[in-house]
Amino acid sequence: MKLSVIWRYEYPSRYAFVALSAYMEQELGEDIDVFYASADELPSLISSIPGLKLIGFSFYSHEKEKIKKEVERIKKTENIILIAGGPHPSGDPYGTLRMGFDYVFFGEGEVSFVSFLRRIMKGERPGEKIIKGEKIGLDFFPFPRKKRRFSPIEITRGCPSGCFFCQTSYLFGKKFRHRPVEVVKEAVKFALDAGLKDMRFISPNSFAYGSEGKTPKPDAIYSLLSSIHELVHARGRIFFGSFPSEVGPEWVTPELVSMVKKFCSNDNLVIGAQSGSERILKAIHRSHGVQEIYRAAECVLSQGLRAYVDIIFGLPGETEEDMYETFKLMENLIKMGARIHAHYFMPLPGTPFARKKPVPLPPSLLKDIRRLVSKGKVFGDWEKQMHYSL
């Protein structure tokens, strides 16, 4: 059976569809036509393609109501199968089915989705509506060569930290899996040949590349960055440890920062601090303390890079004292020369904090944070997140 797959291709969830398309191409070749459409383009594209169509959505929890309305608009179309995966569906598969989807994939989708497609192509309609993902090595090529779609290259999947507010460890496991240097090099060359200039990477902790435990493996990072630099230096730029990735404070060393300075073009490193309260850092299962945050920022700043420090307010169990300890950390980091990327706690399905409520900010603290925002010292969507969460 000839089957068409249409991805709802919107930022930031579109990154997942690049990886899925790449693995589909590797395993299924040209047996399936793949299309990409924005939310606005989706209805007309569906009506223009004959035959059976599988419509794929990937989305975050804050997008849930918008996605529900989109599904309602296209649900009555004939010859379609609606599927969902990604952060929210993985955390709340039953709730996602109730939104109108026919099938929900949770966890890693490459292997399970290709198996699902093979059954559909045989004319089967799987009885199980919730399909569990399977762990996969990252040795597959990360881009679809024929469709030539690109995203930051995922270099590491999984995280041993198990932070209670974050989905990474609970969706992808608590062991690091790394994409081999040779595959990353091949992907970089392919992207450069296609005209891309900037090479970015996805990792829960860029300085964990190559590591199997809780300490850096500098040789692996050197091998990765030096190899890529040989390809890129005259044709583009490398960004490592900056958006859309970060580095853990306890992983930051002068040697690793020097490598970023030598081989990369980013002028900043994103440091995942989250709180200035030792009590809260332990309560949310972080693997560092406050002093590691200061040391990391100093290490980054001393080598001429900017330190962008992630902070989360409203974490479950926070007291006003905890919040002001975090604010004190922010002020001290700003005096050192850092900039603060502020967030507000949003409960994510599938995490230990999924059913926890955010703690409201005291009016006095809210005023203090806004004062720093007005001075350009704090940035981020924390107020939008606060309104959504509360």
**Same domain flag for 108 and 214:** no
**Same domain flag for 355 and 239:** yes
**Same domain flag for 382 and 252:** yes
- Give the chain as a 3 state SS string: CCEEEEEECCCCCHHHHHHHHHHHHHHHCCCEEEEEECCCCHHHHHHHCCCEEEEEEECCHHHHHHHHHHHHHHCCCCCEEEEEECHHHHHCHHHHHHCCCCEEEECCCHHHHHHHHHHHHCCCCCCCCEEECCCCCCCCCCCCCCCCCCCCEECEECCCCCCCCCCHHHHHCCCCEECCHHHHHHHHHHHHHCCCCEECEECCCHHHCCCCCCCCCHHHHHHHHHHHHHHHCCCCEECCCCCCCCECHHHCCHHHHHHHHHHCCCCEEEEEEECCCHHHHHHCCCCCCHHHHHHHHHHHHHCCCEEEEEEEECCCCCCHHHHHHHHHHHHHHHHHCCEEEEEECCCCCCCCCCCCCCCCCCHHHHHHHHHHHHCCCEECCHHHHHHHHC
**Same domain flag for 182 and 111:** no
Rounded average pLDDT over 360-370: 96
**Same domain flag for 366 and 233:** yes
**Same domain flag for 325 and 361:** yes
Q: Could you tell me if residue 228 is inside a domain?
A: yes
Q: Could you tell me if residue 140 is inside a domain?
A: no
CATH number of the domain enclosing 383: 3.80.30.20
Q: Could you tell me if residue 143 is inside a domain?
A: no
Residue 1's pLDDT band, with cuts at 50, 70 and 90, is: low
CATH number of the domain enclosing 56: 3.40.50.280
**Same domain flag for 125 and 176:** no
Question: What's the mean pLDDT when you consider all of the chain?
Answer: 95
Does the pTM surpass 0.85? The reply is yes
Residue 283: the pLDDT is: 97
Rounded average pLDDT over 356-365: 96
**Same domain flag for 121 and 253:** no
Q: Could you tell me if residue 242 is inside a domain?
A: yes
Q: Could you tell me if residue 7 is inside a domain?
A: yes
Residue 266's pLDDT band, with cuts at 50, 70 and 90, is: very high
pLDDT higher than 70, residue 299: yes
Rounded average pLDDT over 215-219: 97
Q: Could you tell me if residue 307 is inside a domain?
A: yes
Domain total in the chain: 2
Q: Could you tell me if residue 137 is inside a domain?
A: no
Out of 101, 132, 163, a domain closes at 132
**Same domain flag for 310 and 251:** yes
**Same domain flag for 126 and 158:** no
**Same domain flag for 119 and 163:** no
Structural domain containing residue 97:
3-132
Give percent above pLDDT 90 in the chain.
Answer: 91
Out of 77, 98, 132, a domain closes at 132
Q: Could you tell me if residue 268 is inside a domain?
A: yes
Residue 277's pLDDT band, with cuts at 50, 70 and 90, is: very high
Out of 132, 161, 181, a domain closes at 132
Residue 314: the pLDDT is: 96
**Same domain flag for 204 and 242:** yes
